[in-house]
């Protein structure tokens, strides 16, 4: 099976991913608490416009609007029986936007966490997780994605279930985890442990990295930790938030700007990332700044913690991580 992502990585030093989905759709009028995934069917023109806005500033990879479209998450909105419909629709919308770009664009089928706590920490079984992820992965494949993109995972057990489901489709897959608890996942795992875990997966992801989290400084620190355990085959993904989330007048605002994201992007390349994009709060304007910063840039040495903090602010510790969870809960990309 043709693998467009692998082909582009073989041709280029880096690829530009896209930015946020949920926070940009909120700016389009998505009601608070309403699943953006349902817009694939109800407001596909808005989803198309978001994809187009990222393509216009140079994205090589766009992710489908299906982050929360597994049946476990859709059940919260009494829409679990629509999982296949919503995922296939999201894939077709993204596929059409990519095909109209006039250049090769990878469509990644976004698969976020189920929101359930898996055994042995909770009651959700591996079998149930694989069933939910398989339903989503099969629908995304039917809709025409190039690669499955498992993102914002915080537990190895859930990542293994998602990988098993993705592998059954025959598509390549990529994955990112989130390290938003003092440099660890919510389950207490370090970036070094995550790389070791991924190296033991069969098959292995075509690319692996970090997304979301507390802010770009902490994500950069995570990438540097990856480098200590990475091997020559690792393709690293960086998809950091646009600054740190702050509560302002009852709304979550991201502290970053174009300059922040330009500095983050260059330092991500310095830290070894070959796929760079943005997560929560990252608009097409921010992504344009990332694209401009990376154009013609030659990566430098691995950044030290002091340099990261000087450029992007403090690397978050336990207190900052706890504040983020109280303000946001699990994020909407």
**205 belongs to a structural domain:** yes
**333 belongs to a structural domain:** no
Q: Work out the average pLDDT over 235-239.
A: 98
The tokens of 184 are what? Answer: 């660890």
d(CA 60, CA 16): 5
Give me the CATH number covering residue 92. 3.20.20.330
Query: Contact at 8 Å (CB) between 179 and 224?
Result: no
Instruction: pLDDT band for 141, please (50, 70, 90 cuts).
Output: very high
Q: Encode pLDDT of 29-48 as tens digits.
A: 999 899 999 999 999 999 99
**85 belongs to a structural domain:** yes
Instruction: pLDDT band for 248, please (50, 70, 90 cuts).
Output: confident
The tokens of 104 are what? Answer: 């090769």
**188 belongs to a structural domain:** yes
The interaxial angle of helices 284-294 and 44-56, nearest 10 deg, is 20
Instruction: pLDDT band for 316, please (50, 70, 90 cuts).
Output: confident
Average pLDDT, the chain: 93
Residue 252's pLDDT is: 81
Domain tally for the chain?
Answer: 1
Measured CA to CA in angstroms, residue 96 lies from 85, 92, 100, 246, 265 at distances of 17, 6, 6, 35, 28
**192 belongs to a structural domain:** yes
d(CA 41, CA 76): 18
Domain of 135 in residue numbering reads as 4-328
**56 belongs to a structural domain:** yes
d(CA 124, CA 161): 11
**242 belongs to a structural domain:** yes
**164 belongs to a structural domain:** yes
């Amino acid at each position: 099976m043709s693998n467009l992502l692998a082909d582009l990585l073989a041709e280029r030093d880096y690829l530009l991913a896209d930015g946020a989905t949920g926070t940009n759709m909120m700016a389009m009028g998505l009601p608070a608490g309403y699943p953006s995934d349902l817009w694939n069917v109800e407001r596909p023109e808005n989803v198309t416009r978001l994809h187009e806005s990222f393509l216009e500033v140079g994205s090589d990879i766009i992710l489908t609007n299906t982050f929360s479209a597994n049946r476990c998450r859709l059940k919260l909105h009494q829409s679990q029986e629509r999982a296949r419909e919503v995922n296939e629709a999201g894939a077709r919308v993204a596929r059409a936007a990519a095909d109209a770009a006039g250049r090769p664009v990878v469509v990644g089928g976004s698969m976020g966490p189920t929101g359930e706590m898996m055994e042995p920490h909770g009651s959700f079984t591996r079998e149930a997780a694989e069933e939910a992820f398989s339903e989503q992965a099969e629908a995304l494949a039917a809709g025409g994605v190039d690669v499955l993109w498992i993102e914002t995972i915080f537990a190895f057990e859930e990542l293994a279930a998602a990988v098993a489901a993705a592998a059954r489709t025959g598509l390549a897959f990529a994955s990112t985890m989130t390290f938003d608890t003092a440099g660890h996942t919510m389950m207490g795992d370090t970036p070094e442990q995550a790389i070791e875990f991924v190296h033991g997966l069969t098959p292995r992801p075509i690319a692996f990295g970090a997304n979301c989290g507390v802010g770009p400084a902490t994500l950069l620190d995570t990438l540097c930790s990856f480098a200590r355990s990475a091997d020559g085959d690792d393709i690293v993904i960086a998809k950091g938030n646009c600054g740190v989330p702050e509560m302002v007048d009852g709304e979550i605002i991201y502290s970053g700007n174009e300059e922040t994201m330009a500095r983050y992007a260059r330092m991500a390349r310095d830290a070894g990332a070959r796929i760079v994009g943005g997560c929560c709060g990252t608009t097409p304007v921010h992504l344009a700044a990332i694209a401009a910063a990376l154009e013609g840039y030659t990566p430098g040495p691995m950044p030290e913690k002091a340099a990261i903090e000087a450029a992007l602010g403090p690397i978050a510790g336990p207190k900052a991580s706890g504040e983020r969870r109280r303000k946001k809960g699990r994020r909407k990309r």
